[in-house]
Structure 1
Amino acid sequence: MDQATEQSDVVVANQPTSLYWYFMQKNFYAWATAEFGGKGLPITTEYLPMPTPGNRQP
């Protein structure tokens, strides 16, 4: 959480910047989204699963 807090402080001090964190693991994405939101951190989280033979995009 230290890294997320430090990055959030930089974003808040340098508006209109934004901060995105991308996750390949659904459980960690869900945890981080709840933690960041609960602490009021201005971090947008996105879940982008690792491509596998069954879900590759053309």
Structure 2
Amino acid sequence: MWEEVASQYNAKHERTSFVRDYDSLRRQFRSLYGKAKPSGFNGEAPPHLRPIARRPNTS
């Protein structure tokens, strides 16, 4: 599976960027997946994101 991800990733990027092997992509995914999502202090959104966070659900 990760070999296919690496081949698709490398095919979509320019030749000037580094070719990444599947181990580096897997490590990057696992490090990002394991991190907590930023939610601000005590669930409070940062001031510059408050209009987005409090937008009413229109669906």
Q: Normalised by the size of structure 2, how large is the TM-score?
A: 0.29
Structure with the greater relative contact order (CA < 8 A, sep ≥ 6): 1 or 2? 1
Greater Rg over alpha carbons, structure = 2
Higher strand share: 1
Higher helix share: 2
Q: Normalised by the size of structure 1, how large is the TM-score?
A: 0.29
